[in-house]
């Protein structure tokens, strides 16, 4: 039975206390954020596509943790079976450390080990991941021709069928992994000792709590730190009023739902090209709220229908307030010059306006999201994470997709509340 896995090892590299808590007090973890869930889903989608690059493989994924040992022995026996050339999620164990390798492919009389990443570039953490896998594979005496990272090609443009040979890039990390083996052996031995201790290591909070990932014990370790988020927000009202101009014009609030699939869906798109899959417009005629909603979740190829609809529905308003993390003008221009011409002059991206007006609150320090701005302005209220909408919008479950319209509307109302409160 293993003691460490790839994820616990990476935790230990980030902070030994996080590793200890994970192994001994897992119930202290924070709730998984929607953003983390969205990332996880993205990774799974790309991982399945990467398997198709090496078709016909045997899927070794254990159905439960109790299957790990069985799968490990099957993996080792499959390596010697000439009828098996590719395995997905093959299980290896060495030095009390278990890994599941995304893909392993026969390469002459050796094997090529591949770890899949759903990103456009490779970070140092990915190299360390791969070095650990290499350590375990070598410990299992797997003859390796190479250890590679497989990731998305930022320059790939889809034309017709997905061309997997162009969509993915490979980077050998064997040399790096070789040079890192002593460090890994030492770390593993150290981590095994730490886990056995009666108390968690005394490690003060610091930069490691956010880097390279936000630690899942953040809530626990930071609970006694004086809460700066109790302090009210600050803003330079002079800049704000200058930037907002005449707020008495007929105003609509626009909530655009962008989707950035890791794997391009339409011809002409690259990985992570974004497009509009829904929107909600909120306005008020002096007595009643008017809501206009549109989405193309049932058939995303209809996304371009959003453009004429936006122009038509926003025609009667002099200003359109939105809150977008991206440069909305540039985004609209890329979609369609006409819509850019029609809308740009009256669009106010409240996010940019607030940033330029030095809006500050502890909550927005690391993430200037609508949720965090809303909760800084209205300290007794909460809003959900935007990733919830993306997760529901791309869900296979119809009931979840049906929640998207009302969530877009709720965000839009939060936007209006912030705008009315500050303007
Ligand atoms: S919150 Fe910081 S100190 Fe606490 S376990 Fe995580 S990384 Fe370590």
**Which CATH number do you get for residue 345?**
3.30.420.10
Name the residue with tokens 């509009």.
276
pLDDT above 90 for 344? no
pLDDT digits (tens, 9 = 90+) for 269-301: 999 998 899 999 999 877 889 999 999 999 999
Nearest atom of ligand 1 to the alpha carbon of 21: 5
Ligand 1 test: best mutation among 10, 11, 12, 17, most atoms within 8 Å of CB? 17
212 & 261 share domain? no
Residue range 313-317: mean pLDDT, rounded: 88
Task: Report how far ligand 1's centroid is from the alpha carbon of 9 (Å).
Answer: 15
Which carries the bigger pLDDT value, residue 334 or residue 136?
Answer: 136
Q: Is residue 229 part of a domain?
A: no
Pairwise CA distance, residues 94 & 107, whole Å = 23
Task: Identify the CA nearest to 89 among candidates 259, 81, 98, 368.
Answer: 98
Q: Is residue 324 part of a domain?
A: yes
9 & 130 share domain? yes
Among 195, 221, 247, the domain boundary falls at 221
Task: Report how far ligand 1's centroid is from the alpha carbon of 207 (Å).
Answer: 9
202 & 260 share domain? no
Task: Report how far ligand 1's centroid is from the alpha carbon of 159 (Å).
Answer: 46
pLDDT above 90 for 413? yes
Q: For residue 295, what pLDDT is reported?
A: 95
- The answer to whether the CB of 312 falls within 8 A of the CB of 343 is no
Pairwise CA distance, residues 167 & 2, whole Å = 35
72 & 186 share domain? yes
Nearest atom of ligand 1 to the alpha carbon of 215: 6
Nearest residue CA, atom 3 of ligand 1? 205
181 & 256 share domain? no
pLDDT above 70 for 385? yes
Nearest atom of ligand 1 to the alpha carbon of 206: 2
Is any ligand 1 atom within 6 A of the Cβ of residue 221? Answer: yes
| Confidence at 409, pLDDT banded by 50, 70, 90 | very high
Q: Which domain holds residue 52?
A: 4-221
Q: Is residue 228 part of a domain?
A: no
Task: Report how far ligand 1's centroid is from the alpha carbon of 387 (Å).
Answer: 24
Task: Report how far ligand 1's centroid is from the alpha carbon of 183 (Å).
Answer: 22
Is any ligand 1 atom within 6 A of the Cβ of residue 209? Answer: yes
SS3 of 241, please?
helix
Nearest residue CA, atom 4 of ligand 1? 221
Pairwise CA distance, residues 244 & 31, whole Å = 37
Residue range 102-121: mean pLDDT, rounded: 96
181 & 282 share domain? no
87 & 213 share domain? yes
Q: Is residue 227 part of a domain?
A: no
**What is the residue-wise DSSP string for 112-149?**
EEEEE--SSS--HHHHHHHHHHHHHHHHTT--EEEEEE
Ligand 1 test: best mutation among 208, 214, 366, most atoms within 8 Å of CB? 208
Is any ligand 1 atom within 6 A of the Cβ of residue 19? Answer: no
Q: Is residue 291 part of a domain?
A: yes
Nearest residue CA, atom 1 of ligand 1? 218
Pairwise CA distance, residues 46 & 53, whole Å = 11
Nearest atom of ligand 1 to the alpha carbon of 200: 5
Q: Is residue 399 part of a domain?
A: yes
Using CA atoms of 353, 308, 277, 294 in order, give the dihedral in degrees to the nearest 10. 100
216 & 246 share domain? no
Q: For the chain, what is the domain count?
A: 2
pLDDT above 80 for 266? yes
Q: For residue 338, what pLDDT is reported?
A: 67
Which carries the bigger pLDDT value, residue 327 or residue 325?
Answer: 325
Q: What is the pTM of this model?
A: 0.85
Q: Is residue 282 part of a domain?
A: yes
Q: pLDDT above 70 covers what percent of the chain?
A: 96
Nearest residue CA, atom 5 of ligand 1? 18
pLDDT above 90 for 65? no
Pairwise CA distance, residues 89 & 63, whole Å = 12
Task: Report how far ligand 1's centroid is from the alpha carbon of 285 (Å).
Answer: 51
175 & 248 share domain? no
Nearest atom of ligand 1 to the alpha carbon of 14: 7
Task: Identify the CA nearest to 129 among candidates 145, 110, 151.
Answer: 151
Q: For residue 370, what pLDDT is reported?
A: 96
201 & 250 share domain? no
Among 221, 248, 279, the domain boundary falls at 221
Q: Is the peptide bond before 422 cis (omega within 30 degrees of 0)?
A: no
Q: Is residue 230 part of a domain?
A: no
307 & 192 share domain? no
| Confidence at 377, pLDDT banded by 50, 70, 90 | very high
178 & 256 share domain? no
Nearest atom of ligand 1 to the alpha carbon of 208: 7
Among 221, 253, 286, the domain boundary falls at 221
């Amino acid at each position: 039975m293993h003691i460490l896995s790839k994820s616990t090892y990476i935790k230990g590299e980030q902070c030994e206390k996080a590793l200890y808590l994970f192994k001994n007090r897992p119930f202290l973890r924070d709730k998984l954020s929607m953003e983390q869930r969205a990332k996880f889903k993205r990774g799974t989608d790309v991982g399945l596509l990467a398997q198709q690059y090496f078709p016909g493989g045997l899927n070794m994924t254990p159905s439960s943790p109790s299957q790990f040992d069985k799968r490990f022995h099957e993996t080792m026996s499959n390596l010697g079976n000439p009828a098996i050339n590719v395995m997905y999620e093959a299980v290896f164990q060495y030095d009390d450390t278990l890994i599941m390798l995304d893909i392993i492919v026969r390469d002459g009389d050796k094997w090529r080990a591949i770890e899949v990443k759903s990103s456009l570039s490779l970070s140092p953490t990915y190299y360390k991941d791969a070095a650990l896998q290499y350590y375990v594979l070598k410990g299992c005496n797997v003859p390796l021709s190479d250890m590679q990272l497989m990731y998305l090609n930022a320059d790939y443009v889809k034309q017709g069928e997905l061309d997997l040979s162009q969509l993915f890039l490979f980077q050998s990390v064997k040399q790096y992994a070789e040079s890192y083996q002593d460090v890994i052996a030492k770390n593993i031995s150290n981590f095994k000792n730490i886990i056995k201790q009666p108390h968690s290591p005394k490690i003060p909070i610091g930069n490691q709590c956010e880097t390279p990932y936000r630690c899942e014990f953040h809530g626990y370790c930071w609970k006694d730190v004086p809460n700066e988020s109790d302090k009210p927000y600050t803003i330079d009202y002079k800049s704000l009023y200058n930037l907002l101009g005449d707020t008495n014009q007929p105003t609509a609030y626009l909530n655009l739902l962008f989707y950035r699939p890791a794997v391009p869906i339409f011809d002409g798109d690259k990985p992570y090209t974004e497009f509009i899959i829904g929107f909600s417009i909120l306005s008020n005629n002096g007595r009643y709220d008017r809501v206009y909603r549109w989405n193309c979740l049932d058939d995303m190829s209809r996304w371009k229908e959003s453009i004429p609809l936006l122009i038509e529905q926003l025609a009667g308003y002099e200003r359109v307030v939105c809150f977008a993390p991206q440069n909305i003008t540039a985004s609209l221009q890329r979609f369609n010059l006409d819509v850019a011409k029609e809308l740009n002059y009256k669009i106010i991206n409240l996010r940019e306006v607030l940033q330029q007006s030095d809006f500050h609150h502890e909550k927005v320090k690391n993430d200037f999201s609508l949720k965090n701005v809303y909760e800084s302005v209205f300290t007794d209220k909460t809003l959900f994470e935007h990733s919830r909408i993306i997760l529901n919008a791309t869900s296979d479950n119809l009931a979840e997709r049906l929640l998207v319209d009302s969530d877009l509307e709720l965000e839009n109302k939060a936007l209006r509340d912030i705008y009315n409160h500050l303007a």
